Amino acid sequence: MPHFVVDCSASILAVHDQATINRQLHQVANATGLFVEANIKVRVNPFTSYLVGNKQTDFIHVFANIMQGRSTQQKAALSTAIVTKLSEMFPAVGNIISP
């Protein structure tokens, strides 16, 4: 733990590849100080078939699985940090969702 799983439209990988996304989210999670760096796991699942609002619109959805012991404020700060980083990396993607 923790596990960060990124579901996304495959087309966003033209902007940043999976390795870059993994590194950036790992750095964000580590910078929070909530986790032991060696335990942080990040992976990307790109999709070629999907609908967002009945259209094939780019999206990024991050699922964070973390153990108990973090406050609501810590979890909110983690979510904000993840969304902020992804919004910087992918400014054209309007659908960025984090836990």
What confidence tens digit (pLDDT) does each residue in 11-26 have? 999 999 999 999 999 9
Q: How many CB atoms lie within 10 A of CB 8?
A: 24
Distance CA 26, CA 13 (A): 17
Pick the CATH number of 3-97 from 3.50.40.10, 3.30.429.10, 3.30.420.240, 3.40.190.10: 3.30.429.10
Do residues 30 and 37 touch, judged by C-beta distance below 8 A?
yes
Each residue of 41-98: pLDDT tens digit? Answer: 999 999 999 999 999 999 999 999 998 989 999 999 999 999 999 999 999 998 887 7
Q: What is the pLDDT of residue 24?
A: 98
- Confidence band of 99 (pLDDT split at 50, 70, 90): low
Distance CA 85, CA 91 (A): 10
Question: pTM value?
Answer: 0.92
